[in-house]
Amino acid sequence: MTAPAAQRPAPDADERIRAVREAKEEQISRAEGWRRRGPLLPALIFTIVVTQIPFLFTLYYSTQSWNLVSPGSRRFVGLQNYVDVFQDSQFWQVTLNTVILIVGTVLISVILGLFLALLLDRAFLGRGIARTLLITPFLVTPVASALIWKTSMFDPVFGIVNFVLSPFGLGEVDWISRFPLPAVMVALVWQWTPFMMLLILAGLQSMPRDILEAGRVDGAGAFALFRELTLPHLRRFIELGTVLGAIYLVNTFDAIYMMTQGGPGTASSNLPFYIYQRAFLGFDIGQAAAMGVVVVIGTIVIATFALRLIFTSFTGKEEAA
């Protein structure tokens, strides 16, 4: 039996009902989205106030010729500060120092962290104590770490490094004066190796053990298992630690300030310390602001590209699994 035509709703009425229902569902989803985002709004507002507003002021100052020791000399110069920055030979030397500092520190920290993680992944007596002691350097504040290496380790008279190397005829070397940049890198490696170790150790412990057992049953040796199974599994964790360490090390200031003051000359200066020198020792606010903008833009571009590669690696492997 079919209902009379007068009792059946018209097709346009059905469409209106469907449209009203979809509109209500969209309103509910929007309200649910704002309800979830609401608790994050204070943090977002705080981040904008603390980071973006100062960056806008930095952009403005970068277009000004403003030297604090010359009252009344402030004027608009457009992009001239950026031209001067790219023509500054010391800026490129400091950029090279920054690249060497980051690449060397991250590479050595990853290698040492991988070695220590492989050791701690094995069961042995006192593993918990050893793990705690190896994590300790990462918990030391950067300023205290720099002071420890400057006064206790690299001191030319009372330093532990010279004391240990004195039987080999190297007990009278002023390491910070003769090798300023490597000395800073050693302190940073000591601080960042525990972070890489923890990250790689987490990757090792997430690896299924049955795969390794199957490889051993098939006759694979320890090196073959590491090369064909362990290292490919750890690649994502190593990449993540490399990117995070590089992003943080770009901003290294305290270790250089406490250990070498950027010297001799600019031999151990990096970009943040050189910007500090230009702004607070040379009083050239305009060029310092222009350098800061260049460094921020370059860091954002490189970090975005690297993080995109890492996220693609993680999501791609998870989908394949």
pTM, 2 dp = 0.81
Check: CB of residue 86 under 8 Å from CB of residue 101. no
Instruction: Mention every residue, 6+ apart, whose C-beta is less than 8 A from residue 288.
Output: 275, 278, 279, 282
Alpha carbon of 193 to those of 89, 98, 137, 276: distances in Å? 33, 19, 8, 27
Point out which residues pair with 75 in neighbouring strands: 65
Rounded CA gap, 80 and 142, in Å?
Answer: 36
Secondary structure element (H or E) that encloses residue 233, with its range:
helix 231-249
Point out which residues pair with 284 in neighbouring strands: 67
Rounded CA gap, 204 and 129, in Å?
Answer: 19
Secondary structure element (H or E) that encloses residue 244, with its range:
helix 231-249
Check: CB of residue 85 under 8 Å from CB of residue 290. yes
pLDDT at residue 218, rounded to an integer: 77
Check: CB of residue 50 under 8 Å from CB of residue 42. no
pLDDT at residue 319, rounded to an integer: 40
User: What is the phi/psi pair of residue 75, to 5°?
Assistant: -155, 165
Check: CB of residue 267 under 8 Å from CB of residue 180. yes
Residues of the chain with pLDDT under 70: 1-14, 20, 22-25, 27-28, 313-321
Residue count of the chain, please give it: 321
Rounded CA gap, 292 and 219, in Å?
Answer: 56
The letter for the amino acid at 225 is L
Rounded CA gap, 252 and 98, in Å?
Answer: 9
- Give yes or no for a cis peptide into 180 (omega within 30° of 0): no
pLDDT in tens, 181-236: 999 999 999 999 999 999 999 888 888 878 777 888 777 788 888 888 888 888 88
Strands 64-65, 75-76: pairing kind: antiparallel
The letter for the amino acid at 118 is L
Tell how many helices (H) and how many strands (E) occur in the chain.
16, 2
Rounded CA gap, 23 and 17, in Å?
Answer: 10
User: Which one-letter DSSP state was computed for residue 10?
Assistant: P
Secondary structure element (H or E) that encloses residue 76, with its range:
strand 75-76
Instruction: Mention every residue, 6+ apart, whose C-beta is less than 8 A from residue 102.
Output: 246, 249, 250
Share of the chain above pLDDT 70, in %: 89
- Give yes or no for a cis peptide into 264 (omega within 30° of 0): yes
